[in-house]
Amino acid sequence: PSAHPHCTMAQEGTVVIYGMGISGNVIPPVLLCLDRKCGGMEMMNILEGEHKTPEKLALNPFGQMPIMVDGDFCLAESNTILRYLAKAYAPETYGADLKTQATIDWAMDWASTNFLNNYKDIWYVVAGFGAAPEDQAAANQKAVANLQAFEKKFLPEGKKFIGGDSLSIADYKIASWIWYIDHSAIEKKVGYKNPARFTQYANDFYAALSPESQKFLEAAKG
């Protein structure tokens, strides 16, 4: 019998990510699953309370998304899921040594604890997840300044991705956010425009994805 009786929704090796395709926390692990052909997303509409059902609370008692189920194992928190998927299905996306992995972790934590505030002021407003900041123009400027500081540290000249010439899990995390806020509708609705380096980063990221992941991104964007 399973050690996790509430985590038996997927066959071994078939990863299910429960969430919504518009969520910046759900998108990165789903893309990695699609690229590695190890799973995909199943809709869990939090706007209709599906994350609060007894079934889903048995998987994640904190009632949030994403939730990952892989065979008899379940997990939550986007960055943790990315690390698990990398170790289980795509080790090259997490680096081969401790320092590389720590740098990737730093970039992902920056996204979750730092840039998230900028992201909310831009994407959440357009997606309907949150109210507009009091001063949208000032919020846009803060986002640009934060990205420019990030560029100096993680995307210096000559470096295509955080992971170098290939995608790391930090790129899955961050570039997917950058790709969404590069949408023309963002500039039209809130006046935000990515710095040129990040438009290029978003385009390079999209080009490096599998057709399945590209289709997923386009569908969620619509």
Q: How far is CA 67 from CA 14, 111, 118, in A?
A: 14, 19, 24
Domain count, the chain: 2
Considering only residues 6 and 187, tell me which one the structure prediction assigns the higher pLDDT.
Answer: 187
Q: Is the pLDDT of residue 171 over 90?
A: yes
Task: Report the pLDDT averaged over residues 62-72.
Answer: 94
Final residue in a domain of this structure, among 89, 109, 141: 89
In a domain, 4, yes or no: no
Each residue's pLDDT tens digit, 179-203: 999 988 899 999 999 999 999 999 9
pLDDT value of residue 4: 37
One domain for residues 117 and 147:
yes
One domain for residues 194 and 107:
yes
The boundaries of the domain holding residue 161 are: 96-209
One domain for residues 52 and 154:
no
Each residue's pLDDT tens digit, 81-109: 999 999 999 999 999 999 999 999 999 99
One domain for residues 114 and 205:
yes
CATH number of the domain to which 111 belongs: 1.20.1050.10
CATH number of the domain to which 64 belongs: 3.40.30.10
